[in-house]
């Protein structure tokens, strides 16, 4: 089967999913993506069974010619904003080719989403026969968009478990944040909570921050903070295998594949309630703690609590993370895709 993928910000973990499907089922992929974000410059290249192109290199007519030559049996589009992609989806849907859109936004039930749901027949279903959702909150959104259960795929995102799996547990007194250093990721909350932890409890733990963005200068002024710029995907597992506690205090995180990557690397976790992936991969008290959104106090309390656990308890939490990380895997991802009719 030939599968066309029209993506925005293509990631290493999505390539790993396609690689698995090509290896197991022989499906070939033609991929178009937007030029990588400077703050997340993923180095992704074509490989056997997967051809990767920058869509900015193609006008619509040239894009259509290349796709026609590929002769896709199925199309996946990561959203419904790009007008070039929508034109292609509409054309192939009219021919009976399955056209799938991805959805990672959580259903909040606000006015904007309810209006969007009312307009779905013209804005979404006009172009797509199926929708692929990340988790339970996205499933509810898909139902509000009037997709039938049999046309909803699950487990849109999957970490490269083989790469991140950590058979040994490393104990290291550090909190680890991975992501863009922007407001909605809660980086400011994390800095304040860590300073409070140091001041009130004289903690000997460090805070390791991996990523680029707005808060670099502020981070460098905080005692106990170690900052790394963007780390390429192939180098990230080795860093996570050093151990510690993963922290993601986002004000809003539609999903967050990094949560599964940290879990696979056998790291206990602290996540805010707004992190979509945490609903599936973090059990409170089992492999970490869930905190209220936008709360420095809650975050500091959780950091203090987990950092003062006995080593044996923290090690068991790490093992539990490794176990729960397999709840979503490449075999499930591939099976979803190959069942589409």
What tens digit of pLDDT does each residue of 254-294 get? 999 999 999 999 999 999 999 999 999 999 999 999 999 99
Per the CB < 8 A criterion, the answer to whether 192 and 295 are in contact is no
The model's pTM: 0.93
Give the integer Cα–Cα distance in Å for 58 and 66: 9
Give the integer Cα–Cα distance in Å for 159 and 186: 22
CA nearest to 141, candidates 150, 131, 129? 131
Predicted pLDDT of residue 37: 66
Predicted pLDDT of residue 304: 98
Predicted pLDDT of residue 67: 96
Q: What DSSP state is assigned to residue 275? A: B
- Tell me whether residue 150 is exposed, middle or buried, using C-beta atoms within 10 angstroms of its C-beta: 0 to 12, 13 to 18, 19 or more: exposed
Predicted pLDDT of residue 232: 81
Give the integer Cα–Cα distance in Å for 41 and 341: 35
Give the integer Cα–Cα distance in Å for 230 and 253: 19
- Which residues of the chain carry a pLDDT beneath 50? none
Predicted pLDDT of residue 40: 60
Phi then psi dihedrals of residue 64, to 5 deg = -65, -40
Give the integer Cα–Cα distance in Å for 200 and 108: 36
């Amino acid at each position: 089967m030939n599968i066309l993928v029209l993506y925005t910000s293509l990631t290493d973990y999505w390539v790993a999913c396609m690689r698995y499907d090509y290896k197991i089922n022989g499906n070939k992929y033609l991929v178009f993506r937007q030029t990588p974000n400077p703050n997340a410059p993923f180095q992704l290249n074509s490989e056997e069974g997967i051809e990767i192109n920058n869509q900015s290199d193609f006008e619509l007519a040239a894009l259509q010619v290349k796709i026609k030559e590929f002769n896709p049996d199925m199309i996946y589009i990561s959203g419904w904003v790009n007008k070039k992609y929508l034109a292609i989806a509409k054309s192939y849907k009219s021919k009976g080719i399955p056209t799938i859109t991805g959805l990672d936004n959580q259903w909040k039930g606000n006015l904007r989403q309810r209006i969007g749901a009312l307009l779905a027949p013209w804005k979404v279903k006009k172009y797509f026969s199926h929708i692929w959702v990340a988790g339970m909150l996205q499933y509810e959104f898909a139902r509000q968009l009037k997709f039938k259960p049999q046309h909803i795929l699950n487990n849109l995102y999957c970490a490269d478990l083989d790469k991140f799996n950590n058979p040994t547990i490393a104990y290291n007194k550090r909190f680890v944040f991975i992501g863009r250093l922007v407001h909605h990721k809660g980086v400011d909350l994390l800095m304040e909570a860590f300073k409070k932890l140091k001041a009130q409890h004289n903690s000997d733990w460090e805070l390791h921050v991996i990523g680029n963005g707005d808060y670099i200068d502020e981070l460098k002024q905080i005692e106990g903070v170690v900052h790394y710029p963007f780390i390429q995907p192939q180098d990230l597992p080795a860093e996570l295998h050093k151990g510690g506690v993963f922290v993601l205090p986002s004000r809003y995180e539609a999903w967050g594949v990094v949560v599964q990557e940290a879990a696979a690397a056998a790291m206990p976790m602290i996540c805010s309630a707004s992190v979509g992936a945490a609903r599936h991969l973090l059990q409170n008290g089992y492999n970490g703690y869930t905190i209220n959104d936008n709360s420095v106090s809650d975050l500091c309390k959780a950091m203090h609590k987990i950092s003062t656990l006995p080593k044996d308890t923290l090690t068991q939490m790490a093992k539990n993370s490794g176990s729960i990380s397999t709840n979503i895997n490449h075999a499930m991802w591939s099976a979803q895709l190959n069942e589409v009719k």
